[in-house]
């Protein structure tokens, strides 16, 4: 019964991953074909370069800027919806809508909204007397703007998952809380949030993986790594080294990809190790 999965994974994930490992140990010719064996040279070059450290910082900042607001934002919305709101269905549907957008469509829309001279974002801020912001052209804003787009895209799914979690909390628990006089935010703080532990944990893990692998919105909103390379994350760097501007350094790109894979493994491992201990399972 495992055979179909194993075959597909072996053919299209493990095997190409092996190819990547092999490529990362070779140089590349004009067409991206592997040529001379260079051993760990790509890894040494990468780990020794200031640019790579910068890329890691950007990657880390991006993960923090997307995962934390995305999960907390979803949580806040769901807790608000829990306060016996009229039209909860309509609200929940509204918050779920971004889930329908592909990365490409969402990015195209935000690109127009962010236009520094004539975009809607600055148009609206201007009405309140706020000066124009270089959303995607100011190095201190670019990563934040891309993160906002990413959070927008993920909020729908997060709300759905957390709503489901709340729905699964047994009525007796809520009733007991009400009898104890714990209503509104106190109940949320001491009962709902702890009971949502498994969902929150799941979202943190999945969002981290997705955030580390985000690509489309970065490429569309801030091509070439953004102003002063302020949005050059690891995945973007892989793409840039392998495909952009007629580059085809598959060797160096593969080495970066392997590093990303290892980072993903470590992050997920830590999350399982640290976070899941604190999660309350029924």
Site for other proteins in 136-155 (CB under 8 A): 136-139, 152, 155
Nearest to 59 by CA among 266, 250, 249: 266
29 binds other proteins (CB under 8 A): yes
Select from 61, 174, 191, 202 the one that contacts other proteins (CB under 8 A). 202
Site for other proteins in 86-115 (CB under 8 A): 91-106, 108-113, 115
Nearest to 260 by CA among 216, 211, 217: 211
x/- mask, other proteins, residues 160-199, rule CB under 8 A, reads: xx-xxx-xx---------------x-------------xx
x/- mask, other proteins, residues 241-280, rule CB under 8 A, reads: -xxxxxxx-x--xx--xx-xx--xx--xx--xx--xx---
Nearest CB to other proteins, comparing residues 1 and 179: 1
In the complex, least distance from residue 53 CB atom to other proteins, rounded to whole angstroms:
16
63 binds other proteins (CB under 8 A): no
End-to-end CA distance of the chain: give it in Å, rounded.
Answer: 30
Nearest to 65 by CA among 280, 231, 261: 231
Q: How far apart are CA 237 and CA 159, in angstroms?
A: 31
Dihedral angle of Cα 274, 72, 136, 245, to the nearest 10 degrees: 40
Residue 89: CB atoms within 10 Å: 10
52 binds other proteins (CB under 8 A): no
Q: How far apart are CA 260 and CA 255, in angstroms?
A: 9
In the complex, least distance from residue 64 CB atom to other proteins, rounded to whole angstroms:
19
In the complex, least distance from residue 216 CB atom to other proteins, rounded to whole angstroms:
7
């Amino acid at each position: 019964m495992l055979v179909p999965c194993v075959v597909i994974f072996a053919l299209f994930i493990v095997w190409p991953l092996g190819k990547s490992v092999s490529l990362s140990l070779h140089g590349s010719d004009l067409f991206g074909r592997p040529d001379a064996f260079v051993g760990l040279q790509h890894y040494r070059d990468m780990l020794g370069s200031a640019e790579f450290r910068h890329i890691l910082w950007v990657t880390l900042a991006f993960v923090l800027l997307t995962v934390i607001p995305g999960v907390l934002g979803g949580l806040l919305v769901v807790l608000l919806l829990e306060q016996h709101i009229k039209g909860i269905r309509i609200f929940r549907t509204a918050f779920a809508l971004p889930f329908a957008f592909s990365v490409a469509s969402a990015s195209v829309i935000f690109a127009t909204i962010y236009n520094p001279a004539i975009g809607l974002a600055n148009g609206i801020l201007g009405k309140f007397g706020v000066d124009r912001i270089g959303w995607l052209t100011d190095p201190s804003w670019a990563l934040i703007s891309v993160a906002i787009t990413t959070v927008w895209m993920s909020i729908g799914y997060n709300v759905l998952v957390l709503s489901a979690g709340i729905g699964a909390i047994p009525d007796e628990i809520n009733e007991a809380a009400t009898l104890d006089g714990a209503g509104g935010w106190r109940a949320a703080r001491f009962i709902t949030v702890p009971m949502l532990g498994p969902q929150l944990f799941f979202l943190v893990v999945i969002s981290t993986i997705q955030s580390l692998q985000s690509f489309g919105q970065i490429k569309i909103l801030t091509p070439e790594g953004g102003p002063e390379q302020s949005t050059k994350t690891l995945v973007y760097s892989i793409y840039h080294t392998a495909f952009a501007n007629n580059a085809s350094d598959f060797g160096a790109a593969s080495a970066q990809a392997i590093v990303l894979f290892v980072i993903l493994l470590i992050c997920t491992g830590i999350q399982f190790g640290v976070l899941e201990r604190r999660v309350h399972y029924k």
